[in-house]
C-alpha cells in the first residue's frame, strides 16, 4: 500500500511539467479530473493519501502531456466555453478563450439591433459547436444553423448540442454552400474559420500543430482563403442589415476588411481587439 499524499504527487507532477517546459497548472487540472471531486474537496484533500489506482493513470497522463504536448483537453475529453462544458476530441479544434469574445460580440450586437424579433443565425465551420450552441442558448430568439466540412467534427457538435439541449440545424458541406442550397437567409453570419498561413506552421506549439486538426488551422492565400470564400458566399444569404462577424488572426484586419468592403460596398466594417489588445474580430 502506498502512502503518497495528494500534495506530494502534485509536487512531482509540477516539477515534471516544468522540466518539459509545460504549464504547471496542468498538474492541478488533471489531478482534479482523475480524483473526480469538486474544487473545494480537491483543496481540502491535499493531505489525504491518494489510492494507487488514481496515481498510476494520473502519472501516465502527466508524462504523456509533458513528453508529447497532447492537449490536456484531449486527455480529459472536455473544455469549458462561455460557462458551459463541451466534449472535444482530436477531430475538433480545442475551443479558445478568444472565441468567447466573438460570441460575446455577437450576443451584444443581436441584443442591440434585433432585441426581440426572430433572427436566423449561421455559424460556419462549427467544429465542436461552441459558437453555435452558446449563441442558441444565449439568444432564445435565434434559429441557429451550423456547418462543417468534417463529418467527424459535426458528430462532436451534434453530441454537444444534445447534451446541452441546444436546438441547432447542422449541415455538412463547404462553408455556406449547404445553406445556400436550402435558400436560407441569414440575419447573422458568424465564423471562426481556419486562418493560419501555411508558412506559420513552424512557429506553432506542438500542442497546436500536432493535435488540432489541420483542417481547422490552416488556410491558403496567406490564411485568407476561407474568408474569401465565405464572404463571396455570404452575398447569397444576406438581408439588408445582416451582421457578419469573423474571428481573425491578429494581422488580418486590413485584408478581411477589404474583402468585406469589396463584396459589400455599403457595409460598415469595424475591427475589435481581444483582451490582449490584439485585433481579433472583424464585423
Ligand atoms: N467554430 C469552432 C471554434 O471556434 O472553436 C471551430 C473553428 S476551427 C478554427 C475551423 C473549422 O472549420 C473546423 O472545424 C474545420 O473542420 C472547418 N472547416 C474547414 N474548412 C471548411 C470548409 N471548406 N467548409 C466548412 N467547414 C470547414
Ligand atoms: N486561434 C487558433 C490558434 O492560434 C487558430 C484558430 C483558427 O485558425 N481559426 O491556434
Handedness of CA 209, 210, 215, 220 (dihedral sign): positive
Q: Average pLDDT for consecutive 10-residue bins of the chain (283 residues)?
A: 90 97 95 94 95 96 97 97 98 98 98 92 98 98 98 98 98 98 98 98 96 98 98 97 97 98 97 97 98
Output the pLDDT for position 1. Answer: 64
Q: Is 277 exposed, middle or buried (0-12, 13-18, 19+ CB in 10 A)?
A: exposed
Output the pLDDT for position 151. Answer: 98
Looking at the CA of 100, which ligand is closest? Answer: 1
Pocket of ligand 1 (CB under 6 A): 92-93, 95, 99, 125-128, 130-131, 147-150, 153, 174-175, 192-194, 215-216
∠ CA 156-158-161, rounded to 5° = 110
CA of 195 to the centre of ligand 2 (A): 7
Q: Cα separation of 278 and 220, whole Å?
A: 22
Specify whether the CB–CB gap between 69 and 204 falls below 8 A: no
Which residue owns the Cα nearest ligand 2 atom 6?
A: 217
**Pocket test residue of 130, 215, 217 for ligand 1, highest count of atoms within 8 A of CB:** 215
CA of 216 to the centre of ligand 1 (A): 5
**Pocket test residue of 130, 195, 198 for ligand 2, highest count of atoms within 8 A of CB:** 195
196 lines ligand 2 (CB under 6 A): yes
CA of 196 to the centre of ligand 1 (A): 12
DSSP 92: S
Looking at the CA of 203, which ligand is closest? Answer: 2
What is the Rg, in whole angstroms, of the alpha carbon atoms belonging to the chain? Answer: 21
Output the pLDDT for position 115. Answer: 84
Q: Cα separation of 245 and 136, whole Å?
A: 16
- What is the ipTM, given to two decimal places? 0.98
Ligand 2 atom with the shortest distance to the CA of 247: 9
In sequence order, the 6+-apart residues with CB closer than 8 A to the CB of 130 are 81, 82, 86, 95, 99, 103, 160
Ligand 2 atom with the shortest distance to the CA of 99: 1
- What CATH number should be reported for the domain whose range is 89-282? 3.40.50.150
Q: Which own/partner contact pairs does 22-31 have at CB distance under 8 Å and 24+ positions apart?
A: 22/65, 22/66, 22/69, 26/62, 26/65, 26/72, 27/62, 29/72, 29/76, 30/58, 30/61, 30/62, 30/65, 30/72, 30/75, 30/76, 31/6, 31/58
Distance of CA 162 to the CA centre of its chain: 18
The model's pTM is 0.96
Q: Can you name the residues that pair with 181 across neighbouring β-strands?
A: none
Output the pLDDT for position 260. Answer: 98
Amino acid at each position: 500500500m502506498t502512502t503518497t499524499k495528494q500534495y506530494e504527487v502534485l509536487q512531482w507532477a509540477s516539477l515534471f511539467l516544468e522540466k518539459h517546459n509545460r504549464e504547471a497548472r496542468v498538474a492541478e487540472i488533471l489531478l482534479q479530473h482523475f480524483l473526480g471531486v469538486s474544487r473545494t474537496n480537491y483543496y481540502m484533500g491535499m493531505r489525504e493519501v491518494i489510492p494507487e489506482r488514481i496515481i498510476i493513470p494520473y502519472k501516465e497522463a502527466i508524462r504523456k502531456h509533458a513528453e508529447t504536448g497532447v492537449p490536456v483537453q484531449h486527455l480529459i475529453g472536455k473544455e469549458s466555453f462561455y460557462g458551459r462544458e463541451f466534449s472535444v476530441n482530436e477531430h475538433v479544434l480545442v475551443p479558445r478563450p478568444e472565441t468567447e469574445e466573438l460570441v460575446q460580440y455577437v450576443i451584444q450586437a443581436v441584443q442591440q439591433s434585433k432585441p426581440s424579433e426572430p433572427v436566423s443565425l449561421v455559424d460556419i465551420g462549427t467544429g465542436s459547436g461552441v459558437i453555435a450552441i452558446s449563441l442558441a442558448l444565449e439568444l432564445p430568439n435565434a434559429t441557429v444553423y451550423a456547418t462543417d466540412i468534417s463529418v467527424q467534427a459535426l458528430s462532436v457538435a451534434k453530441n454537444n448540442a444534445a447534451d446541452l439541449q441546444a436546438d441547432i440545424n447542422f449541415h455538412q458541406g463547404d462553408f455556406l454552400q449547404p445553406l445556400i442550397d436550402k435558400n436560407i437567409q441569414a440575419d447573422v453570419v458568424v465564423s471562426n474559420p481556419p486562418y493560419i498561413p501555411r508558412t506559420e506552421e513552424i512557429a506553432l506549439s506542438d500542442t497546436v500543430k500536432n493535435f488540432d486538426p489541420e483542417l481547422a488551422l490552416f488556410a491558403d492565400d496567406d490564411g485568407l482563403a476561407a474568408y474569401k470564400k465565405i464572404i463571396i458566399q455570404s452575398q447569397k444569404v444576406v438581408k439588408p442589415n445582416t451582421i457578419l462577424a469573423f474571428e481573425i488572426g491578429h494581422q488580418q484586419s486590413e485584408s478581411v476588411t477589404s474583402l468585406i468592403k469589396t463584396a459589400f460596398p455599403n457595409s460598415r466594417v469595424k475591427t475589435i481587439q481581444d483582451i490582449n489588445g490584439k485585433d481579433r474580430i472583424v464585423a
